[in-house]
Structure 1
Amino acid sequence: MSDFAPSGLLKNPHAQSILASTGLRKLRSYPRARAMLAASKTVILDCGNGHQLLGEYAAQPKRSKGLVTLIHGWEGSSQSTYMLSSGGALYQAGYDIFRLNLRDHGPSHHLNRELFNSARLDEVVGAIAAIHEIYPQPWQFLAGFSLGGNFALRVAAKATEADLDIKQTVAICPVVDPAKTMTALEQGWWVYEQYFVRKWQQSLRKKINLYPELGYQKSLFKLKTLRDMNSYFIPHHTPFSNVEDYFRAYSIAEEALSTLSSPAHIIAAQDDPIILAEDFARLANSEHLSIETKRYGGHCGFMKNYQLDSWLDGRLLELINLRRYPSGDPAKLHTLASD
Structure 2
Amino acid sequence: MPLINYSSYNQSVSFLHKHKHISTIYAGMFKKFPTPDYKREILELQDGDFLAIDYNLKNTNKAIILCHGLEGNSQRTYMNSCATYFLQRNFSVFAWNNRSCSGEMNRLPKLYHHAAIEDLDAVIQFALTKVDEVYLIGYSMGGAQTLNYLGRTNNINERVKAAIAISVPIEVKSSVESLKKGFNKVYMKNFTNDLIPKLKYKAEQFPELLNWDKIKDIKGFDDLDDYFTAPLHGFKDREDYYFKVSPARSITNIIKPVLIINALDDPFLGEDCYPKEFAKNSTTVYLEIPKYGGHCAFPMKNVPHSYAEIRAFTFIESLSNV
Q: Does 1:185 align with 2:179?
A: yes
Structure 2: distance between partners of 1:7 and 1:244: 39
Q: Is the 8 A contact 2:86 2:93 kept in 1?
A: yes
Q: Does 1:155 align with 2:123?
A: no
Q: Would the alpha carbon gap of residues 207 and 88 (structure 1) be closer, same or farther in structure 2, given more than 3 Å must change?
A: farther
Q: Post-superposition shift, 1:58?
A: 0.8
Q: Identify which range, 234-243 or 51-60, moves more after superposition.
A: 234-243
SS in 1 for 2:111: coil
Q: Does 1:105 align with 2:101?
A: yes
TM-score normalised over the length of structure 2:
0.87
Q: Which runs of 5+ in 2 are unaligned?
A: 1-6
Q: Would the alpha carbon gap of residues 272 and 120 (structure 1) be closer, same or farther in structure 2, given more than 3 Å must change?
A: same
The aligned counterpart of 1:52 is 50
Letter of the 2:84 counterpart: G
Q: Would the alpha carbon gap of residues 131 and 111 (structure 1) be closer, same or farther in structure 2, given more than 3 Å must change?
A: farther
1:293-318 CA deviation, whole Å, 9 max, x = no partner? 10100111101137764222222222
Structure 2: distance between partners of 1:65 and 1:248: 38
SS in 2 for 1:20: helix
SS in 2 for 1:322: helix
Q: Would the alpha carbon gap of residues 251 and 236 (structure 1) be closer, same or farther in structure 2, given more than 3 Å must change?
A: closer
Q: Does 1:203 align with 2:209?
A: no
Aligned-residue CA RMSD in angstroms? 2.5
Q: Would the alpha carbon gap of residues 242 and 212 (structure 1) be closer, same or farther in structure 2, given more than 3 Å must change?
A: closer
1:269-293 CA deviation, whole Å, 9 max, x = no partner? 1111111355322647431111111
Q: Would the alpha carbon gap of residues 148 and 299 (structure 1) be closer, same or farther in structure 2, given more than 3 Å must change?
A: same
Q: Does 1:250 align with 2:245?
A: yes
The aligned counterpart of 1:313 is 309
Q: Does 1:93 align with 2:94?
A: no
Q: Would the alpha carbon gap of residues 236 and 309 (structure 1) be closer, same or farther in structure 2, given more than 3 Å must change?
A: closer
Structure 1: distance between partners of 2:317 and 2:201: 40
Aligned length: 312
1:130-152 CA deviation, whole Å, 9 max, x = no partner? 322x2231x31101000100111
Q: Post-superposition shift, 1:75?
A: 0.6
1:184-220 CA deviation, whole Å, 9 max, x = no partner? 1112422111111111113323444555555655332
Letter of the 2:22 counterpart: A
* Match of residue 127, structure 2, among 131, 145, 150: 131
The aligned counterpart of 1:330 is none
The aligned counterpart of 1:114 is 110
Q: Post-superposition shift, 1:256?
A: 1.5
* Match of residue 7, structure 1, among 8, 14, 38: 14
* Match of residue 25, structure 2, among 12, 18, 41: 18
Q: Is the 8 A contact 1:103 1:112 kept in 2?
A: no
Q: Is the 8 A contact 2:64 2:91 kept in 1?
A: yes
SS in 2 for 1:144: strand
Q: Is the 8 A contact 1:271 1:298 kept in 2?
A: yes
SS in 1 for 2:234: coil
Q: Which runs of 5+ in 1 are unaligned?
A: 328-339
Q: Does 1:237 align with 2:232?
A: yes
The aligned counterpart of 1:222 is 217
Q: Post-superposition shift, 1:3?
A: 3.5
SS in 2 for 1:161: coil
* Match of residue 273, structure 1, among 263, 267, 272: 267
SS in 2 for 1:70: strand
Q: Post-superposition shift, 1:88?
A: 1.0
Q: Is the 8 A contact 2:171 2:272 kept in 1?
A: no
Q: Which runs of 4+ in 1 moved over 6 A?
A: none
TM-score normalised over the length of structure 1:
0.83
Structure 2: distance between partners of 1:131 and 1:245: 32
Structure 1: distance between partners of 2:299 and 2:204: 38
Structure 1: distance between partners of 2:41 and 2:305: 30
1:112-131 CA deviation, whole Å, 9 max, x = no partner? 34333334322322332232
Q: Identify which range, 85-94 or 154-163, moves more after superposition.
A: 154-163
Structure 2: distance between partners of 1:256 and 1:236: 22
Q: Percent identity?
A: 26
Q: Post-superposition shift, 1:173?
A: 1.2
Structure 2: distance between partners of 1:294 and 1:78: 26
Greater relative CO, 1 or 2 (CA 8 Å, sep 6+):
2
